[in-house]
């Protein structure tokens, strides 16, 4: 597809059933896209959104599901086989489940998963199970109702959320719990939440707080200290070689349980060398690194009727090609809201 670093448009051919292998300039295979379908959210997590929320992107600026499906189809033909639907809160957008159904049917798509704050999950579960959702990442930072309310600034009842997770499992949807450890918020809760997850049949991953937007004024907790807490409670954790899902998590087996504890520590255990992902914001910016602003606005391109799929493929491939080698969170914070990018 590239000859002497130049895009060869004539060699990009988008035909149903054919897929290419998308690589960036560092030779990394890019096969995973996080699709943020909305910037709106019914929570205001302290590390993600201001208390009063943010000015929402006007509806006509948000990509339609048809536009996202076109990007999905072309990306899948280029070699992106796994999609994560995220937000904001993706279940706030009407039609999310049926969008995922269509995404899953695209040629070349092997996996469609969802990241959610769980609050609107119960009413969607039957349809999501019918869609054949490949996995659910459930954000749950504490099991204390009081701290949950403080962290999410929401009135959602934890008991309702937890019932929805059990039902998801009963319906055959694999669930992973995501916890963002934060000093002064959920430091004492890790054993409880890990025990809850493992006993319920869910993997659990601790996600290091990234200095992005609101989160810059809070402090995270080190992977090492949580690892020690886990070993003290459950016995020595044993490193697993195999990846679980698409993420860069370092996963560990826990004595007596068949589910794992994982750590995603983008700062302290940088994994850029193995990065396999790009992100699409709800307004159509293809963001090729979480930290950098590098990427391409796809919306003007999509809304100009003259452009065909081959050209769209070339634009996506060129953006991927220019993906930065690594983030620089250690030195500079990200000046964007996580809710607009989808995590």
| Contact status: 47 vs ligand SAM (CB under 6 A) | yes
The C-alpha R_g of the chain, in whole angstroms, comes to 20
Name every residue whose Cβ is closer than 8 Å to that of residue 157 and which is 6 or more positions away in sequence. Answer: 145
**Rounded to the nearest 5°, which phi and psi values hold at 260?**
-110, 165
Least distance to ligand SAM, CB of residue 209, Å: 5
Q: Closest Cα to residue 151, out of 41, 45, 43, 52?
A: 45
> In the beta sheet, which residues pair with residue 23?
29
Name every residue whose Cβ is closer than 8 Å to that of residue 195 and which is 6 or more positions away in sequence. Answer: 233
Least distance to ligand SAM, CB of residue 101, Å: 19
Least distance to ligand SF4, CB of residue 307, Å: 31
Q: Which of 72, 284, 324, 342 binds ligand SAM (CB under 6 A)?
A: 342
**Which residues in the 301-340 window bind ligand SF4 by CB under 6 A?**
338-339
Q: x/- site string to ligand SF4, residues 126 to 155, per CB under 6 A?
A: -------------x----------------
CA dist 80 and 56 (Å) reads: 29
Query: How many other CB atoms are found less than 10 A from the CB of residue 131?
Result: 22
**Could you give the C-alpha distances from 49 to 55, 58, 84, 150, 175, in angstroms and in order?**
11, 18, 21, 13, 25
207 binds, among ligand SAM, ligand SF4, none (CB under 5 to 8 A by kind): ligand SAM
Helical H segments across the chain, by residue range: 65-78, 96-105, 125-131, 145-152, 158-170, 190-200, 223-234, 299-303, 309-321, 338-341
| Contact status: 220 vs ligand SF4 (CB under 6 A) | no
44 binds, among ligand SF4, ligand SAM, none (CB under 5 to 8 A by kind): ligand SF4
**Which residues in the 80-139 window bind ligand SAM by CB under 6 A?**
86-87, 89, 115-117, 139
| Contact status: 178 vs ligand SAM (CB under 6 A) | yes
Which residue number, 87 or 174, has a Cβ lying nearer to ligand SAM?
Answer: 87
39 binds, among ligand SF4, ligand SAM, none (CB under 5 to 8 A by kind): none
**Which residues in the 71-110 window bind ligand SF4 by CB under 6 A?**
87-89
Q: DSSP secondary structure string, 109-130?
A: --EEEEEE-STTTGGGHHHHHH
**Which residues in the 34-53 window bind ligand SF4 by CB under 6 A?**
41, 43-45, 48-49
180 binds, among ligand SAM, ligand SF4, none (CB under 5 to 8 A by kind): ligand SAM
**Considering CB under 6 A, how many residues would be counted as binding ligand SAM?**
21
C-beta separation of 138 from 165 below 8 A:
yes
Q: Closest Cα to residue 204, out of 146, 155, 142?
A: 142
User: In the complex, which residues of this chain contact ligand SAM (CB under 6 A)?
Assistant: 41, 47-48, 86-87, 89, 115-117, 139, 178, 180, 207, 209-210, 212, 215, 338-339, 342-343
User: In the complex, which residues of this chain contact ligand SF4 (CB under 6 A)?
Assistant: 41, 43-45, 48-49, 87-89, 117, 139, 338-339
């Amino acid at each position: 597809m590239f000859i002497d670093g130049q895009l060869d448009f004539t060699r990009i051919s988008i035909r149903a059933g054919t897929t290419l292998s998308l690589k960036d300039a560092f030779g990394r295979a890019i096969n995973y896209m996080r699709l943020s379908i909305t910037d709106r959210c019914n929570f205001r997590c302290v590390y993600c959104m201001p208390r009063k929320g943010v000015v929402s992107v006007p509806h006509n600026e948000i990509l339609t599901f048809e536009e996202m499906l076109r990007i999905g189809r072309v990306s899948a033909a280029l070699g992106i086989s796994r999609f994560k639907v995220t937000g904001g809160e993706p279940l706030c957008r009407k039609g999310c489940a049926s969008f995922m159904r269509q995404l899953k049917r695209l040629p070349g798509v092997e996996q469609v998963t969802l990241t959610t704050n769980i609050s609107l999950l119960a009413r969607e579960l039957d349809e999501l199970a019918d869609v054949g959702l490949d996995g659910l990442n459930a954000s749950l930072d504490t099991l204390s109702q009081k701290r949950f309310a403080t962290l999410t600034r929401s009135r959602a009842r934890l008991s309702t959320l937890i019932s929805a997770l059990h039902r998801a499992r009963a319906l055959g949807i694999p669930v992973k719990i995501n916890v963002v450890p934060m000093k002064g918020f959920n430091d004492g809760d890790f054993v409880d939440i890990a025990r809850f997850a493992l006993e319920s049949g869910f993997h659990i991953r601790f996600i290091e707080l990234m200095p992005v937007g609101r989160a810059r004024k809070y402090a995270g907790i080190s992977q090492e200290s949580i690892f020690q807490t886990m070993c003290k409670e459950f016995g020595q954790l044993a490193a697993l070689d195999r990846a679980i899902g698409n993420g860069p998590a370092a996963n560990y087996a826990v004595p007596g349980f068949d589910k794992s504890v994982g750590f995603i520590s983008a700062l302290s255990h940088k994994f850029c060398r193995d990065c396999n992902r790009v992100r699409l914001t709800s307004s159509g910016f293809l963001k090729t690194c979480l930290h950098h602003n590098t990427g391409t606005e796809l919306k003007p391109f999509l809304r100009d009727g003259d452009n065909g799929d081959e050209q769209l493929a070339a634009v996506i491939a060129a953006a991927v090609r220019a993906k930065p080698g690594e983030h620089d969170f250690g030195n500079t914070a990200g000046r964007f809201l996580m809710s607009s990018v989808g995590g």
